[in-house]
Chains A and B, each alone.
Chain A
Amino acid sequence: MKISNEQKKINRLKIIEIAVDLIIEEGYKSATMRGIAKKAGFGDATIYNYFPTKESILFAYYEDKLNETIEKMKEIKDFNEYTINEQLQTVFHIQFELFLSDREFIAITFKKIFLTINQNYKQIKTIKNLFRTIIKDIFDAATEAEEIPPQIFEEMIFHLIFDYYIGIVIFWLNDSSEKFNETTILTDKSLDLFCSVIQAGVANKVFDLASYFFKNHILSRLTMLKSHKDTINIIKREFMGSNNE
Chain B
Amino acid sequence: MNEIRIPKGKFQRTVITAKTAGKVSGQVLTYLVKKPFLSKDNNIAAKKDLSEKNAETIFKSLTFLKGTALKIAQFLSMELEILPEALRKELEKSYNRVPPLNRAMVRKILKDVYEDNPESVFKCFEAKAFAAASLGQVHRAKTKEGHKIALKIQYPGIKNTIESDLKIVRTVVKPLPDYAFILPGLDEVEEKLMEETDYINEGKNLLFFKHHLKLKLIKVPALYEKYSSDVVIAMEYIKGLPLNEWIKTNPSIEEKNKIAESLFEIFIRSLYELKCIHADPNPGNFIITPDLKVGLIDFGCIKQFDPTFVDNYQKLNRTILRDKSEYFSLHNELNLFINDISEEVKNNIMHIMHKISIWYGRFYKKEWFDFKKNKDIFTEPQNLFKELSKYKKYFNSQPDFIYLDRTRYGLYRIFEKMEVKIKIRNTYEWDE
Query: Which residues from chain A sit less than 8 Å from chain B, CB to CB?
Result: 75-78, 82-83, 85-90, 93, 97, 177, 179, 181-182, 184-185, 188-189, 192, 195-196, 199
B107 close to A (CB within 8 Å): yes
B214 close to A (CB within 8 Å): no
Query: Do A181 and B104 have beta carbons less than 8 Å apart?
Result: no
Number of cross-chain contacts by CB at 8 Å: 56
- Chain A residues in 8 Å Cβ range of B108: 89-90, 93, 184
B67 → A minimal CB distance (Å): 13
B320 → A minimal CB distance (Å): 50
- Chain A residues in 8 Å Cβ range of B104: 82, 85-90, 93
- Chain A residues in 8 Å Cβ range of B1: 83, 85, 195-196, 199
CA of A85 to CA of B157, assembled, Å: 20
- Chain A residues in 8 Å Cβ range of B9: 185, 189
The contact string, 1 if C-beta is below 8 Å from chain A, for chain B 120-163, is: 00000001000000000000000000000000000011001000
Query: Which residues from chain B sit less than 8 Å from chain A, CB to CB?
Result: 1, 5, 8-9, 102-105, 107-108, 111-112, 117, 119, 127, 156-157, 160
- Chain B residues in 8 Å Cβ range of A78: 103, 127
A185 → B minimal CB distance (Å): 5
Query: Do A97 and B105 have beta carbons less than 8 Å apart?
Result: no
Among B5, B104, B117, B160: residue with most chain A CB under 10 A: B104
- Chain A residues in 8 Å Cβ range of B127: 78
- Chain A residues in 8 Å Cβ range of B112: 179
CA of A88 to CA of B103, assembled, Å: 11
Query: Do A185 and B102 have beta carbons less than 8 Å apart?
Result: no
Q: Contacting B156 at CB < 8 Å: which of A89, A185, A192?
A: A185
A49 → B minimal CB distance (Å): 36
Query: Do A185 and B119 have beta carbons less than 8 Å apart?
Result: no
Nearest residue in B to A147 (C-beta to C-beta)? B1
Query: Would you give 25 A-B contacts (Cβ < 8 Å), ordered by A?
Result: A76-B119, A82-B103, A82-B104, A85-B104, A86-B103, A87-B104, A89-B105, A89-B108, A90-B107, A93-B107, A93-B111, A179-B112, A179-B156, A181-B156, A181-B160, A182-B157, A184-B105, A185-B8, A185-B9, A188-B102, A189-B8, A189-B9, A192-B5, A195-B1, A199-B1
CA of A17 to CA of B81, assembled, Å: 65
- Chain B residues in 8 Å Cβ range of A192: 5
Q: Contacting A89 at CB < 8 Å: which of B5, B102, B157?
A: B102
A171 → B minimal CB distance (Å): 14
B104 → A minimal CB distance (Å): 4
Nearest residue in A to B12 (C-beta to C-beta)? A189
B311 → A minimal CB distance (Å): 42
- Chain B residues in 8 Å Cβ range of A184: 105, 108, 156-157
CA of A184 to CA of B107, assembled, Å: 12
Q: 13 more A-B contacts (CB under 8 A) besides A83-B1, A93-B111? A: A76-B107, A82-B104, A85-B1, A85-B104, A86-B102, A90-B104, A93-B104, A93-B108, A181-B157, A185-B8, A188-B8, A188-B105, A192-B5
> Which 7 A-B pairs have CB atoms at the shortest separation, nearest pair first?
A89-B104, A86-B104, A181-B157, A93-B108, A90-B104, A181-B156, A86-B103
